[in-house]
Structure 1
Amino acid sequence: METRFQRVFLVSLMLGILPTFSATVLAFNVDDMVPTEIERRDVLENILDSENFELGAQIGLLSIEDFESNLWVSGHFAYHINEYFYAKALYGFSKAGTSSFEKLVNVPPLLTNEQRKLKYYGLNIGYNLLPGEVFLSKDIALNSMFSIELGGGSTEFAGNNQFTINLTANYRLFLTDWLTWDIAMSDYIFDTSVTGENKTTHNLNFTTGIAFYF
């Protein structure tokens, strides 16, 4: 009986001592691990790119209604108002080929060489849509952006200056944070009476080029 009582006493004593002992060891270990004085480090925040200006050049084809498809060269300067909207000033030129009427009927040329030169200058407002990524491989991905533009300007063609509406769909692939590869489809809409009939023409344009951001 005395032996059993001693065992119960020893178990109770151990149960009372072990938690205190464990807490003391835990506190000792935590105090040991955490320094009393934390050394502060200077952390430099990432500076986001803030290039709001864009300068680009394109080359492609312009299908001048009734005058074949012809080489097109253009340049633009743009200001990005925010992440969605931008304003773009555009200048482009081409030279009309032979009209279908001139090919079918044996008549003198409708236009002189100087009148066949087509020049356009105008201003567009663009809106960025559908930001995404293009995966060139499992380890290489490039940012991309699809945008639409609406604008107006003036087309000098056949000795006349015509008000022109411009509709453009543009796809940009960001090669770096300051360089893009652009692919665009445009429609230049203006009135003409070169063939003797007053009509509204749709002159489709396909271009590709690069743009620099600064």
Structure 2
Amino acid sequence: MEIRHQRVFLAAGLLLYSLSCAAYAQETNNTGVWQAPTAEQREVIEDVLDSENFAIGVQTGVVSIEDFGVSTWLSAQVSYHLSEYFYIKASAGQAKAGQTSFEKLANVSPLLSDEERQFKFYGLAVGYNLLPGESFLTPQLAFNNALSIELGGGNTQFAGNDQFTLTLGINYRLFLTDWLAWDVNMSDYMLDTQITGENKSTHNLNLTTGFAVYF
């Protein structure tokens, strides 16, 4: 019985040795030198953003001035990126307010002159990048992007008065190149007015799009 078991183990050992020799032979060249298996490597070139942290941008869009309808909005910004996540931004923008519903329906004298209808804002905001990453338009085409929130304050000139304004915004940036970005921004300009006869807090919603150059 022992001799039978020894024969079985011996046969199994010879079989494993033969298989290993065959595998080794497939991995050697004609000269008998073993070569490590090679894998095809693909060269990947990543577009690196410029190291400069300043950006200048221009935007256009619409603003809903409470009680005065929707108007065209033009703005410009200068920003400095402190890190990958934080940045500060100085901005200025303006629009011309329309007529209130009371003015249109009652056919009365205008509440404001043309000069007083100019809605002008300038201020400073701090931004935080919530989701810096990449946006894949196709399996082979991807762009760097960032979704951020902004909180700031400034001054609004409207109806002959200067009013402190609190701003809250959401910004989306898509980097088309290492120096050019496409921006989409939605903001709320919150300020107190008493144009219609009562002192109240107003929310003036703003939606814009534009481009920023990094340098």
Verify same fold: TM over 0.5: yes
1:16-66 CA deviation, whole Å, 9 max, x = no partner? xxxxxxxxxxxxx99xxxxxxxxxxxxxxx987311101000000000000
What residue ranges of structure 1 are gaps of 5+ in the alignment? 1-28, 31-45
1:91-130 aligned within 5 A: 91-130=92-131
Contact in 2 for aligned 1:51/1:178 (Cα 8 Å): no
Number of residue pairs aligned between Structure 1 and Structure 2: 172
Are the equivalent residues in 2 in contact too, given 1:73–1:92 (CA < 8 A)?
yes
2:183 matches 1:182: yes
Q: What secondary structure does 2:186 align onto?
A: strand
Q: 1:106 deviation in Å?
A: 2.2
Cα distance in 1, alignment partners of residues 84 and 133 from structure 2: 14
8 A contact 1:70–1:96 mirrored in 2? yes
Residue in 1 that maps onto 2:165: 164
Query: Match of 1:210?
Result: 211
Please report the TM-score for the alignment, with normalisation by the length of structure 1. 0.77
TM-score by length of 2: 0.77
Alpha-carbon distance in structure 2 between the residues aligned to 1:49 and 1:162: 38
- TM-superposed deviation, 1:143: 1.2
SS in structure 2 at match of 1:130 = coil
Rounded to whole Å, the distance in 2 between the matches of 1:68 and 1:47 is: 43
Instruction: Tell me which residue corresponds to 2:19.
Output: none
Q: Would you say the 8 A contact 1:115–1:158 is kept in 2? A: yes
Deviations 1:65-106 (A, max 9, x none): 000000000000011111111110000000000111111222
> Which secondary structure state, in structure 2, belongs to the residue aligned with residue 102 of structure 1?
helix
SS at 1:136 equivalent? strand
Compared with structure 1, are the counterparts of its residues 99 and 87 closer, same or farther at alpha carbon in structure 2 (3 Å cutoff)? Answer: same
Runs of 4 or more off by more than 2 Å in structure 1?
46-49
Greater radius of gyration (CA)? 1
* Deviation digits for residues 102-144 of structure 1 (CA, Å, limit 9, x no counterpart): 1122210000001001100000001111123222222111111
